[in-house]
């Protein structure tokens, strides 16, 4: 793959993650009360619902900012991969241990079933990992 193609692909994937994180963060902030209520109903994290209701959208916005600047893109992709992995593990845990659960996601993602949400998160984790590999390859080729 040519370096320009690698760079372009990484840029497009980063733009997609920027869109995803800004969208979900803004949706959560716009429906903050609903988000807090759903967090309170969620297993494991209910005790920290107040803190998480601000921390999660903030982290998503910070990652979006990191992805926006090419200089910090690699760090942003690492953080995206980390966040997606945490969400994936949490959803898998919820599917294994609980039956009826609220969705404290944002926007249209809340319309997915839990299984669909899990698959989406797995896909996004793989995409972030793939983009990291491309970024690494691009740096290697430049050297």
Partner 1 sequence: MKKYLLGFFSIVIAISLSAYNAPKQKAAKNTSTLNYWEYNPNTQQLGDSLGEFDPVADRNDLIAVSCPDNGTIQCARGYSSPSEPQTQQEIDNFQDKVAHN
Residue 3 is a binding residue for partner 1 (CB under 8 A): no
- CA-nearest of 42, 29, 49 to 106 is 29
Residue span 34-73 as binding mask against partner 1, x where in contact by CB under 8 A, dash where not = x-----------------------------x--xxxx---
Minimum distance between the CB of residue 135 and partner 1, rounded to whole angstroms? 14
Instruction: Give the range of 11-19, 37-45, 84-92, 119-127 binding partner 1 by CB under 8 A.
Output: 11-19
Among 1, 3, 19, 86, binds partner 1 (CB under 8 A): 19
Here the tokens at position 18 are: 């920027």
Question: Which parts of 67-106 interact with partner 1 (CB under 8 A)?
Answer: 67-70, 106
Residue 31 is a binding residue for partner 1 (CB under 8 A): yes
| Residue 11 Cα distances to 19, 54, 63, 83, 107, angstroms | 12, 28, 14, 19, 24
Residue 11 is a binding residue for partner 1 (CB under 8 A): yes
Residue 127 is a binding residue for partner 1 (CB under 8 A): no
* CA–CA gap between residue 87 and residue 81 (Å, rounded): 10
What crossing angle do the helices spanning 49-68 and 3-30 adopt, rounded to 10°? 150
SS3 assignment, position 112: coil
Q: Positive or negative CA dihedral for 89, 92, 98, 99?
A: positive
Applying CB under 8 A, the residues found at the interface with partner 1 are: 11-12, 14-16, 18-23, 26-27, 30-31, 34, 64, 67-70, 106-108
């Amino acid at each position: 793959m040519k370096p320009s193609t690698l760079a372009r692909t990484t840029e497009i994937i980063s733009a997609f993650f920027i869109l995803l994180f800004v969208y979900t963060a803004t949706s959560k902030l716009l429906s903050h009360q609903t988000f807090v209520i759903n967090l309170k109903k969620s297993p494991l994290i209910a005790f920290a619902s107040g803190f998480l209701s601000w921390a999660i959208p903030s982290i998503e916005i910070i990652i979006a900012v990191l992805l926006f600047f090419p200089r910090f893109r690699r760090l942003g992709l690492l953080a995206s991969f980390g966040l997606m992995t945490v969400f994936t593990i949490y959803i898998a845990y919820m599917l294994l241990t609980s039956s009826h659960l609220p969705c404290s996601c944002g926007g249209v993602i809340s319309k997915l079933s839990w299984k669909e949400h899990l698959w989406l998160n797995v896909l996004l984790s793989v995409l972030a990992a793939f983009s990291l590999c491309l970024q690494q390859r691009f740096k290697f080729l430049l050297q």
